[in-house]
Structure 1
Amino acid sequence: MKEDIIVNIRKMTVILLDMINLVYQGFMENDAHYLNRALNKERVMDDLEKDITALVIRDSKTLDDKGRKGLLLFEQVAQNIERMGDELRYLMERMEIKIAEDLLFSDIGVEQYKDAFEKMRKSVELTVKFLNEDKKELLEMILSNGDDIKETIEKYRTEHLKRLTDGICEPRAANMYFDMLDFTGNIARHCTAIARVYKGK
Structure 2
Amino acid sequence: MDKQAGEKMTQVCRSVSEMIEMVFEGFRRPTMESFREVEEAMNTVRKYSTELTGFLISKSSSSEEGREWAKPYLSIASCFDRMTFNIEGIVDRLKSKAENHILFSERGVKEVYDLFHEVMEILENLLGLFLTQDKLLAQRIEEKGRSAFRMISRYAEAHEERLIQGVCVPKSGPIYLGILECLRGIIGHALEVSAKILSLSSSP
Scaled by the length of structure 2, the TM-score of the pair is 0.89
Residue 89 of structure 1 corresponds to 88
Q: State the 1:63 CA deviation.
A: 7.3
Residue 105 of structure 1 corresponds to 104
Structure with more contact order per residue of length (Cα contacts < 8 Å, sep ≥ 6): 2
The residue identity in structure 1 corresponding to 2:43 is R
Q: State the 1:48 CA deviation.
A: 2.1
| Mapped pair 1:36 → 2:52 | no
**CA displacement 1:33-79 (0-9 Å, x = unmatched):** 212211111122222222222222221117772x6544322222222
Residue 126 of structure 1 corresponds to 125
The residue identity in structure 1 corresponding to 2:29 is E
Residue 167 of structure 1 corresponds to 166
Is the Cα–Cα contact under 8 Å of residues 18 and 38 in structure 1 kept in the other structure?
Answer: no
| Mapped pair 1:180 → 2:179 | yes
Q: Distance in 2 between matches of 1:104 and 1:110?
A: 9
Q: Distance in 2 between matches of 1:62 and 1:101?
A: 52
Superposed CA RMSD: 1.9
The unaligned stretches of length 5 or more in structure 1 are: none
Q: Distance in 2 between matches of 1:113 and 1:159?
A: 13
Q: Distance in 2 between matches of 1:62 and 1:69?
A: 10
Q: Distance in 1 between matches of 2:52 and 2:186?
A: 20
Is the Cα–Cα contact under 8 Å of residues 142 and 192 in structure 1 kept in the other structure?
Answer: yes
Q: Distance in 2 between matches of 1:49 and 1:144?
A: 27
Pick closer, same or farther for the CA change 1:199–1:13 going to 2, 3 Å: closer
Residue 196 of structure 1 corresponds to 195
The unaligned stretches of length 5 or more in structure 2 are: none
Paired residues in the alignment total 199
Structure 1 ranges of 4+ moved more than 6 A: none
Pick closer, same or farther for the CA change 1:13–1:198 going to 2, 3 Å: closer
